[in-house]
Structure 1
Amino acid sequence: MAFSMAGSIGICVWLGRRWDQQSTQSAPIGTLIGGVLGTLFAIWLVIKELSK
């Protein structure tokens, strides 16, 4: 479970950083959004696994 959490957060942050590198924004909005979405997805995975 810990590896899937780390993987989902890591992939979302990586995608956000790629978006930041390709955009012209001064603030790292993509990294922020990716981190939040990855964390929410990881929490959802934990709740889904624990409810079984």
Structure 2
Amino acid sequence: MTDKTLVCINCGKEFIFTEGEQGFYKEKGFENEPKRCPDCRKARKLQRSRE
């Protein structure tokens, strides 16, 4: 595996999906790559926890 550059569906900013993150996703059984950058993921998680 190598680092991948992905584009966030929320803000359009490019972010790196590192080898380590890819390994973590695979270990957890996640089949899809992240669609949001770390900042947007944090914001979404905060928003969902407040509901």
Could you say whether these structures have the same fold, taking a TM-score greater than 0.5 normalized by the shorter chain as the test? no
Report TM bin, short chain.
Answer: 0.3 to 0.5
Larger CA Rg, structure 1 vs 2:
1
Task: Calculate the TM-score normalised by the size of structure 2.
Answer: 0.34
* Larger RCO (alpha carbons 8 Å, 6+ apart): 1
TM-score computed with the length of structure 1 as normaliser:
0.34
